[in-house]
Amino acid sequence: MQRIENLMKAKAIELLENGTVNRVLGWTAGDFYYDNTPAIFNSKEEIEKSFVYNSFCGANLSKYLVKERKNEGKILVFLKPCDTYSFNQLVKEHRVNKDNIYIVGIECQGHLSIEAIKAKGIDGVVGLEENGEEVTVKSIYGDKTVVRGEVMLEKCLSCKSKKHVAYDELIIVNEMPEADSMKRFSKVAELEAMTADERFAFWKSELSKCIRCNACRNVCPACTCTKCVFDNPESGVDAKANADKFEEKLFHIIRSFHVTGRCTDCGECSRVCPQNIPLHLINRKYIKDINEFYGEYQAGADTESKAPLTAFTTSDIEPGSNLKEGK
Amino acid sequence: MLKIELNKLNDLFAKISSSTDLILPVTVAGETNFAKYEDGAEVNLSVQTVKSAKDSFFPQAEDLMKFKTEGKKIDIIDVREKVESFVLFGVRACDYRSFEILDRVFLVDPIDTYYKAKREKGVIVTLACSRPEESCFCSAFGIDATNPLGDVTTYIADGFLYWNANTDKGNALTDAVKDLFAQADSNDEAKIDEQKKNTKEILSKLPYANVDLSGFTPDKLNELFNDAKWEELSEACLGCGSCTFVCPTCQCYDIKDFKTNDGVKRFRCWDSCMYADFTKMAHGNSRNFQLQRFRQRFMHKLVYYPSNNEGIYSCVGCGRCVKKCPISMNIAKVIKTIGGKNND
Ligand code: SF4
Ligand code: SF4
Ligand code: SF4
Ligand code: SF4
């Protein structure tokens, strides 16, 4: 990890100094090792002071490029494999200006989740040390060692691809583990196997936790509307809170439908949810359905292809025919 | 002081909830939040709740009134139901202090009668902390996590819950449940004192325990407002409402009208200064950039509120925003960056 970080820093400084870019989008170190924050660096000094790349850089930087579009000059951005899918999708939707972006694709061995570490009963975490497959958690209540694979972010445990689908150059030192994109759908299949009542009960108990903080929406690279319907008093569905016990389902159904076919399954929505609602399962259900109804499709894999839901062909499945088959 | 074995707590909860609503930390689908006690509820007293305890007095959404229209006639209908007394159990010292902060907003002229009614009927049972998290920094605000106030104070030590009533309301509740308890003796008190001592030791060493707030004084308002550091601090902020909605002291709300079949329902719901439409008025918006919205949240807590309230900050250091911000930006980092000379 340290080696990758050093290479990234050197690359950032090189590109700043030779004038290829005028700013760098990466992560800045926090106070506990696990609390890094996305940040823009403008100089060598800033990079040397606080640039960081460790196993807590799960945040997808692609969406910040939408805001950066308004600024002058070229920006360097470090993207993990999954982040490049979001990038491509943003290019496809004309939300970012590709010509003003320099992408360095970076090695990713999977990122870790502090929530998963805490769920193991480890609290008072004030630092971590990474040692290959082992992570030593420094805690005010005594240090503990855990296996990386057990405390990874959900999105990394079910990584769809270790291939960068957009980049100007790559920084990869160690081999990255193979990804199995089908593994993502096992929990969806479990939900499909439930009865409608069981499934309703599952979603009711999960979604009822929602506090409508909008973190899922605001982090989502597919949610780039200037004014979301839920913020627009003219829309008739604007709301800041759930008026009754299960009104939040409306928000989630509308939002997930709106990103269907555009959601790359980047997993950010689930990562940021303060109530740990498994939002990825909603999106993955739609992805699985699209795959089954229209043939395999991965949003963000490229910048040109037509998406199944926005391109009509005569061989398209008849609406409702799946219901007749009782699926 | 009274005591009850931890494995008999469900009897206590059942007894309290047989006559009044009992609100306490309950785990649903893996997350713990304050909720009504029901038979079989998974009560969890060992973790900090995701949302704070303020919902009991200031719920996330609340109906205010209804308007019924018939031709040109409008009837205003009071939708307030009589508030019954209830018990709020398991409140930590930080959340308890937050009620005092909210009181200074809702109970001053013009008094918020919706809030007041609930505040008067709530019996607060606090729980002392014995295992603070790294994100806690209540001590920076002079809060003693080992000795919370409230109508009743409880401590958990060595397989028992200890119970000490502090007020008339607390005594009345104690009378109703007394037969489940045994009398604690001086050995027990020694155990609690020992625990307090150990906890205080941990509290004083927490990473954010000694953040220096001395830079936040009302006379430096302009200087702080114009600090160049807000730009880098706010740069990555998503403008979500996570920090405001998990915060025990955030108090802003929106009032909205909802059209029903025969009229209009007026309700209020939590709002967030981090949201783009927060200060939207007829003429436009006075805060057009996330930097301005972000700055507002912290200036309010650390400068504006204290200047109207004898220097009391409206942050209690509960650390919820530290834990929940999707991009790991929070009030502790803000304080460290612009708060005072002694922050490294
Ligand atoms: S819906 Fe979730 S998984 Fe899909 S693109 Fe948005 S944040 Fe990523
Ligand atoms: S992030 Fe979670 S709690 Fe917040 S609005 Fe989304 S689902 Fe609800
Ligand atoms: S600002 Fe953060 S630490 Fe302070 S009271 Fe609110 S949630 Fe707690
Ligand atoms: S500080 Fe964090 S939690 Fe608060 S609005 Fe910004 S991104 Fe959301």
pLDDT attached to residue A325: 55
Question: Do A198 and A321 share a structural domain?
Answer: yes
Structure tokens at B296: 């507002």
Whole-number Å distance between alpha carbons of A47 and A28: 9
pLDDT attached to residue B46: 95
Whole-number Å distance between alpha carbons of A188 and A186: 5
Task: Say how many Å lie between the CA of residue A215 and the centre of ligand 4.
Answer: 8
Whole-number Å distance between alpha carbons of B33 and B246: 10
Which ligand neighbours the alpha carbon of B242 most closely?
4
User: Phi/psi of residue A41, each to 5°?
Assistant: -115, 135
Task: Say how many Å lie between the CA of residue A258 and the centre of ligand 1.
Answer: 11
ipTM over 0.90: yes
Q: Are residues A209 and B242, on separate chains, in Cβ contact within 8 Å? A: no
Residue B68: CB atoms within 10 Å: 13
Question: Do A43 and A22 share a structural domain?
Answer: yes
Which ligand neighbours the alpha carbon of A220 most closely?
1
Q: Which of A280, A298, A289, A282 is nearest to A325 (CA)?
A: A289
Q: Sheet harboring A125-131: ordered strands across? A: A125-131, A134-139, A144-147
Residue A281: CB atoms within 10 Å: 20
Chain A residues close to B322, C-beta within 8 Å: 35
Position A148, amino acid: R
Q: Is the CB of B236 under 6 A from ligand 4?
A: no
Question: Do A194 and A91 share a structural domain?
Answer: no
Q: Does A217 touch chain B (CB under 8 A)?
A: yes
- List of chain B residues with pLDDT < 70: 344
State which of B50, B233, B237, B275 you would mutate to test the pocket of ligand 4, scoring each by most atoms of that ligand within 8 A of its C-beta. B237
Q: Is the CB of B240 under 6 A from ligand 4?
A: yes
Give the DSSP letter string of A87-117: HHHHHHTT-S-GGGEEEEEE--S--B-HHHH
Q: Are residues B332 and A31, on separate chains, in Cβ contact within 8 Å? A: yes
Give me the residue from B134, B254, B327 closest to A59, CB to CB: B327
Whole-number Å distance between alpha carbons of A129 and A255: 38
Point out which residues pair with B161 in neighbouring strands.
B4, B156
- CB < 8 Å from B in window 124-183 of A: 124-126, 139-141
Helices B168-177/B9-19 angle, 10° precision: 110
Structure tokens at A78: 């470090």
- What does each C-alpha distance from A83 to A178, A257, B95 come to in angstroms? 17, 21, 38
User: Which of A55, A125, A213 is most worth mutating to test chain B (most B CB atoms within 10 A of its CB)?
Assistant: A213
Question: Do A172 and A314 share a structural domain?
Answer: no
Question: Do A319 and A197 share a structural domain?
Answer: yes
Question: Do A193 and A296 share a structural domain?
Answer: yes
Q: Which of A122, A113, A107, A215 is nearest to A170 (CA)?
A: A107
Question: Do A122 and A105 share a structural domain?
Answer: no
From the alpha carbon of B240, which atom of ligand 2 is closest?
A: 4
Position B58, amino acid: F
For B140-152, b where at least 16 C-beta lie within 10 A, e where not — what string?
bbebbbbbbbbbb
CB A133 within 8 A of CB A177: no
Task: Say how many Å lie between the CA of residue A262 and the centre of ligand 1.
Answer: 9
Which ligand neighbours the alpha carbon of A242 most closely?
2
Strands A37-41 and A101-106: unpaired
The alpha carbon of residue A180 and the mean position of all alpha carbons in its chain are separated, in whole angstroms, by 17
> Which residues line ligand 3 at a C-beta cut-off of 6 Å?
B 246-249, 301, 315-321, 331
Residue indicated by tokens 């660096």? A41
- Rg of chain A over Cα atoms, rounded to whole angstroms, equals 21
Q: Does B230 touch chain A (CB under 8 A)?
A: no
Structure tokens at B167: 């007020």
Q: Are residues B29 and A209, on separate chains, in Cβ contact within 8 Å? A: yes
Task: Say how many Å lie between the CA of residue A80 and the centre of ligand 3.
Answer: 32
Q: Strand runs (DSSP E) across B102-219, as ranges?
A: 122-127, 152-157, 160-165, 182-183
CB B50 within 8 A of CB B324: yes
Whole-number Å distance between alpha carbons of A22 and A101: 10
Which ligand neighbours the alpha carbon of A287 most closely?
1
Question: Do A214 and A305 share a structural domain?
Answer: yes
**Angle of CA points B328, A204, A206, to nearest 5°:** 25
The distance of B193 to chain A (nearest Cα, Å) reads: 20
CB B226 within 8 A of CB B41: no
Give the DSSP letter string of B120-150: HHEEEEEE--SS--TT--GGGGT--TTS--S
For B28-60, b where at least 16 C-beta lie within 10 A, e where not — what string?
eeebbbbbebeeebebeeeebbbbbbbbbbbbb
pLDDT attached to residue A20: 98
**Cα pseudo-dihedral B66, B68, B74, B77, rounded to 10:** -40
pLDDT per residue, tens digit, chain A (327 aa), is 789 999 999 999 999 999 999 999 999 999 999 999 999 999 999 999 999 999 999 999 999 999 999 899 999 999 999 999 999 999 999 999 999 999 999 999 999 999 999 999 999 999 999 998 999 999 999 999 999 999 999 999 999 999 999 999 999 999 998 888 888 999 999 999 999 999 999 999 999 999 999 999 999 999 999 889 888 888 877 778 776 667 778 899 999 999 999 999 999 999 999 999 999 999 999 999 999 999 999 999 999 999 999 888 888 888 777 666 555
Hey, CA dihedral for A86, A90, A92, A93, is it positive or negative? positive
For B80-108, b where at least 16 C-beta lie within 10 A, e where not — what string?
eeeeeebbbbbbbbbbbbbbebbeebbee
Q: Does A64 touch chain B (CB under 8 A)?
A: yes
Q: Is the CB of A281 under 6 A from ligand 2?
A: no
Question: Do A294 and A270 share a structural domain?
Answer: yes
Q: For ligand 1, atom 2, which residue shows the shortest CA distance?
A: A269
Structure tokens at A201: 């009960």
Whole-number Å distance between alpha carbons of A169 and A112: 25
Model pLDDT for residues A185-224, shown as the tens digit of each residue? 999 999 999 999 999 999 999 999 999 999 999 999 999 9
Q: Are residues B238 and A39, on separate chains, in Cβ contact within 8 Å? A: no
Can you give the length of chain B in residues?
Answer: 344
Chain A residues close to B207, C-beta within 8 Å: 31-32, 126
**Angle of CA points B234, B237, B240, to nearest 5°:** 135
Q: For ligand 4, atom 8, which residue shows the shortest CA distance?
A: B240
Whole-number Å distance between alpha carbons of A182 and A159: 9
Long-range contacts of B257-263 (CB under 8 A, 24+ apart): B258/A243, B260/B66, B262/B68, B262/B69, B263/B66, B263/B67, B263/B68, B263/B69, B263/B75
Q: Does A214 touch chain B (CB under 8 A)?
A: yes
State which of A154, A273, A276, A281 you would mutate to test the pocket of ligand 2, scoring each by most atoms of that ligand within 8 A of its C-beta. A273
Whole-number Å distance between alpha carbons of B126 and B88: 8
Residue A23: CB atoms within 10 Å: 19
* Domain assignment of residue A45, given as a range: 1-111+158-179
At residue A23, the 3 state secondary structure works out as: strand
pLDDT attached to residue B295: 97
Number of domains in chain A: 3
Q: Rounded to a whole number, what is the distance in angstroms from the first to the last CA of chain B? A: 43
CB pairs < 8 Å spanning A and B = 120
Question: Do A170 and A212 share a structural domain?
Answer: no
Tell me which chain B residue has its CA closest to the CA of residue A26.
Answer: B236
Question: Do A277 and A142 share a structural domain?
Answer: no
Task: Say how many Å lie between the CA of residue A63 and the centre of ligand 1.
Answer: 11
Question: Do A324 and A192 share a structural domain?
Answer: yes
Position B134, amino acid: E
Whole-number Å distance between alpha carbons of B271 and B254: 5
pLDDT attached to residue A324: 61
Can you give the length of chain A in residues?
Answer: 327
Strands A134-139 and A125-131: antiparallel
